């Protein structure tokens, strides 16, 4: 694989950015059209669990390679990256950690919910908080890491 | 009925979420996500490039997840229907 073949392509970059923004906008805008309030999706504790699990999980697994991966992944959001098996692997592992983080966020929120069943009015909000955790995990997993995994693959470079 | 269906939902919804999150993992692919080489179901590494696939779920685990996900949805429907304001 020629490492120098990564040339900047404006059309490719525009389409990438449009695709990523469109993905997230479609999800959020659809939620708003359905009558949802975007603020109800933001639960810092859930986001902290999911993002923290992904970040520190990858840091413990891939260490310095993960730190080198971060700027490459950010750059891959706007321009075509060079195929790299390690980065493709990290993106794939990130999906596993997202699943783990989402699952743990849900379970921990449900523990909070079930320990407060004597306050029925708060049950709905707590269940919604639990769901928002898995929503964040799925959004990152399907919207970001699937894209990064494919972008760093040889298939995307051909 | 109201509380029973809610508790069933709370107990089984992690299965639903795990079921959703595991959709599309690399082990479910028929080819390596990196180089596109065909892979067998039980292979842990790509023979050509060495890509490590996610661990295949053992035994009946996928079916337990699917059953839990179904139970979760049904209990959620039961709970919503039991709400007096609907």
Predicted confidence (pLDDT) at residue B71 exceeds the cutoff of 60 = yes
- pLDDT for position A2: 47
A4's tokens? 């120098």
Give A57→chain B minimum CA distance, Å.
15
From the list B13, B17, B53, B70, the residue with the least C-alpha distance to A111 is B13
Task: Please check whether residue A81 is in contact with residue A152, taking contact to mean a CB–CB distance below 8 angstroms.
Answer: yes
Chain-chain contact of B33 with A153 (C-beta, under 8 angstroms): yes
Domain definitions of chain B by residue range: 1-22+58-86, 25-56
A13's tokens? 């970059």
User: How many contacts does A have with B, using Cβ atoms within 8 A?
Assistant: 75
Predicted confidence (pLDDT) at residue B86 exceeds the cutoff of 80 = no
Q: Position of tokens 């490459």?
A: A72
Around Cβ A30, how many Cβ atoms within 10 Å? 10
Distance CA A98, CA A134 (A): 9
Q: CB-CB: which of A113, A117, A137 is closest to B21?
A: A137
ipTM metric = 0.75
- pLDDT for position B59: 67
Band (pLDDT 50/70/90 cuts) for residue B10 is confident
Task: Please check whether residue B30 is in contact with residue A111, taking contact to mean a CB–CB distance below 8 angstroms.
Answer: no
Chain-chain contact of B50 with A92 (C-beta, under 8 angstroms): no
Chain-chain contact of B6 with A154 (C-beta, under 8 angstroms): no
Task: Please check whether residue B56 is in contact with residue B27, taking contact to mean a CB–CB distance below 8 angstroms.
Answer: yes
Output the tens digit of pLDDT for each of chain A's 158 residues: 444 456 778 898 999 999 999 999 999 999 999 888 888 888 999 999 999 999 999 999 999 999 999 999 999 999 889 999 999 999 989 988 988 888 888 888 888 888 887 777 777 788 888 888 888 888 898 889 989 999 999 877 66
Task: Please check whether residue B21 is in contact with residue A103, taking contact to mean a CB–CB distance below 8 angstroms.
Answer: yes
B51's tokens? 């890509």
Higher pLDDT pick, A22 / B73: A22
Chain-chain contact of A130 with B49 (C-beta, under 8 angstroms): no
Distance CA A37, CA A59 (A): 34
Among A153-157, B25-29, B57-61, which stretch is predicted with the lowest mean pLDDT? B25-29
- pLDDT for position A1: 46
Q: Which residues of A85-123 are buried (b: 16+ CB within 10 A; e: fewer)?
A: bbbbbbbbbbbbbbbbbbbbbbbebbeebeeeeeeeeeb
- pLDDT for position B29: 66
- pLDDT for position B26: 56
Domain definitions of chain A by residue range: 6-157
Instruction: Give me the mean pLDDT over the B1-18 stretch.
Output: 81
> Cα dist. A84→A2, A141, B13 in Å?
11, 19, 37
């Amino acid at each position: 694989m020629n490492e120098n073949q990564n040339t900047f392509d404006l059309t490719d970059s525009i389409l990438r950015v449009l695709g990523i923004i469109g993905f997230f906008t479609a999800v959020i805008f659809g939620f708003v059209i359905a009558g949802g309030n975007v603020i109800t999706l933001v639960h810092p504790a859930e986001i902290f669990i999911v993002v923290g699990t992904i970040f520190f999980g990858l840091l413990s697994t891939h260490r310095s390679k993960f730190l080198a991966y971060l700027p490459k992944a950010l750059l891959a959001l706007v321009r075509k990256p060079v195929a790299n098996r390690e980065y493709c692997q990290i993106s794939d592992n990130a999906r596993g950690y997202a699943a783990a983080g989402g699952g743990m966020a849900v379970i921990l929120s449900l523990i909070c919910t079930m320990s407060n069943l004597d306050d029925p009015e708060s049950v709905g909000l707590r269940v919604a908080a639990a769901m928002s955790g898995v929503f964040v995990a799925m959004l990152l997993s399907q919207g970001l890491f699937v894209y990064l995994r494919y972008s760093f693959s040889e298939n995307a470079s051909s | 009925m109201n509380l029973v269906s809610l508790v069933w939902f709370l107990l089984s919804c992690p299965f639903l979420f795990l079921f959703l999150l595991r959709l599309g993992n690399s082990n479910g692919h028929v080819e390596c996500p990196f180089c596109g080489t065909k892979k067998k179901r039980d292979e842990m590494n790509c023979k050509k490039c060495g890509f490590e696939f996610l661990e295949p779920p053992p035994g009946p685990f996928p079916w337990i997840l699917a059953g839990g996900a179904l139970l979760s949805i049904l209990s959620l429907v039961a709970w919503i229907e039991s709400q007096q304001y609907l």
